[in-house]
Amino acid sequence: MINALAYSQQLLDKLVNKFYDGNFVDGTIGNGHDIHRIVSNKHFKGHAYGFDIQEQALTNTKRKLENINTSKYTLINNSHENISNYFEENHTFHGAIFNLGYLPGGDHSITTRGESTLKAVEFISRHLIKGGQIILVVYSGHESGKIESQEVIDALSKYPQDDYQVLTYQFINQINHPPYVIVVEKL
């Protein structure tokens, strides 16, 4: 078995290979590892939109993407909860990744919150094409992460099963609350 982060990367690679000319969102670019994974996939001909509230994250991500053609991505210094401001109502998404929590090595008080995470997930899920997925890596080991994890689980478990499949990938016998993955797939 592989850990949550590796599992999320495996899913993301599969999704990008499948929808190589699709629209992707990285809801929390941080140091840019996930958006880099999308746009550096050799099959990728679509567009990736990356959000982060920290300017430092955009600076770090720009550096990470310096060898990638800028026509492949857009970096947005805003909260993902405002995602609806950037897209028309008829826009479609093929995939999204949210690596929740705080920036490793950064300010631990700047962290994702359930309410804003869910606003973004709800918007993307309404515009997701059939077979498209939203992948979330959830950290419940710190205080606000625990609250966010519960809020996200509560909301996503109510998504109608005729329209979406929602699963968790989680080790249940490990100490210290290791991260886990939630996947929302449009049917």
Q: Which residues bind ligand SAM (CB under 6 A)?
A: 28-34, 51-54, 57, 79-81, 99, 101-103, 110-112, 116
Min. distance of Cβ 117 from ligand SAM in angstroms? 7
Asked if 172 contacts 134 with a C-beta cutoff of 8 angstroms, the reply is no
**Smallest distance from the beta carbon of 86 to ligand SAM, in angstroms?**
12
CA distance 41 to 18: 11
CB closer to ligand SAM, 23 vs 60: 60
Cβ 60 to ligand SAM shortest distance, Å: 8
What is the DSSP annotation of 4-47?
HHHHHHHHHHHHHHHTTTSEEEES--TTSHHHHHHHTSTT--SE
Q: How far is the CB of 137 from ligand SAM (least distance, A)?
A: 8
**89, two tokens:** 């109502």
Residue nearest to ligand SAM (CB): 30
Looking at the Cβ atoms of 140 and 187, the one nearer to ligand SAM is 140
Count the Cβ atoms, other than its own, within 10 Å of residue 158. 9
Q: Pick between residue 23 and residue 61 the one whose CB is nearest to ligand SAM.
A: 61
